[in-house]
Homo-oligomer: A and B are copies of this chain.
Amino acid sequence: MGMNGVLRPGHAAIRVLDLEPAVTYYIEVMGLIETARDDRGRVYLKAWDEHDHHSLVLREADSPGLDYMGFKVVDDATLDAMAAGLAARGVAIEAVPAGEHVGTGRRVRFRVPTGHAFELYAHKDIVGNGMPTMNPGIRPDALKGIAPVRLDHALMYGADLDGTVALFTEVLGFQVTESVAAGDTVIAAFLSCGAKVHDIAFVRQPADGKLHHIAFYVDSWDDVLRAADTIAANDVSHDLGPTRHGISRGQTVYCFDPSGNRNEVFTGGYMWYPDRPPLKWTADELPRALFIHERKLRDSFMSVVT
C-alpha cells in the first residue's frame, strides 16, 4: 500500500473461449479455488492465501483477453477521493453498483489512455485463507496444482503509455519502479502501489487494450520448478521459463490458459520503497532486462497478446 491508499490488484476479469475447460485449468493446474458463480455465468476464483472473496473472474466470450482489472483501496474515503481525482482530470467514471461482483462493494470503473478498463473498490467480503486466524498452520490441506499465494500483477500493451503511466502516478499514487527507454521514449514501465516490485506494468505497442499476462505469486524458486513440472504434466501450453528477469530480479515461468491468455508464475523480486532509486534500462539491453539468463528476445513472448 502506498501513501495514497491503493492496496493491491484485487481482481482481474478475463474472457475465455470455453468456460468449463478454463475453470478446470484454473482450478486443477493453476490451483485456484472457486468461490462463486453468478447468474451471468461468471466464475469467481481466488488464490489460497488471499483473504478476499475472489481475485479472478472468468467470463465466456468469443475472444480471450482482459475485461478489466480492479485495485482495492483502503477505504471509502480513498475511493471517493480517487474517483474525484480521475474526474477532475477528465476521465469518465462508470459507477458499478455493489453486488455486481459477488461479495464486492461499489466499484469505480474508468478507462486509461492505453485502452484498458480499471476499477477501484474498497470492500470485498473476507472469506479467509482456509486456515483459522486463531492458531493457524502453514498452509491449508488439499491444495491442487501450482497453488500460488496471490494474484500478483499484470502486464498490458497499448499505445499511449505516457498517458496511462501519468494517470497511475499522478492520480492514483503509483510509482514507477523500473522502466525501459529507447532514447527519450519510455517503451515499458513497471509500477508499484506499495511494496511490491510491480503491481501493474505497461508496454508501448500500437494495439490498445491488450493483455500480455496476469501473474500469480509463488513463494520460491523451487515452487517455480514445481509449477513448470505441473504445466508439463498437464500438457499445458508453455511459453518460456523457468528463468529470471533482469527487471525485478524475479524468477518466472509462463504458460497459456486454454483460451490463450498468458499466465505467469512469479516469485522473488526486491521489496520496493518510495525512496529506492527507480531502475532504468536502455532499449539495447532489453534482452537482458527481460531474460537475464538467455539475453535474447523471443518473438512469441513479445508478439502474442490477448
Q: What residues of chain A have their CB less than 8 Å away from a CB belonging to chain B?
A: 1-3, 5, 7-8, 49, 51-52, 72, 74, 126, 128, 133-139, 141, 149-150, 194-196, 219-222, 225, 228-229, 231-233, 238, 240-244, 246, 249, 251, 253, 268, 270-271, 273-282, 285, 288-289, 292-295
Contact = CB atoms under 8 A, between A and B. Distances in A.
B228 A293 contact: yes
A295 B1 contact: no
A276 B128 CA distance: 9
Nearest to A124: B275
A219 to B, nearest CB: 7
B293 A241 contact: yes
A219 B293 contact: no
Contact of A150 (B8, B238, B271): B271
Contacts of A278: 133
Contacts of A220: 220-222
A244 B280 contact: no
A128 B221 contact: no
Given A149-B270, A238-B294, A238-B295, 10 more contacts: A1-B1, A3-B5, A74-B274, A133-B279, A138-B233, A221-B222, A228-B243, A242-B242, A242-B293, A253-B293
Contact of A232 (B2, B72, B135, B288): B288
A147 B238 CA distance: 27
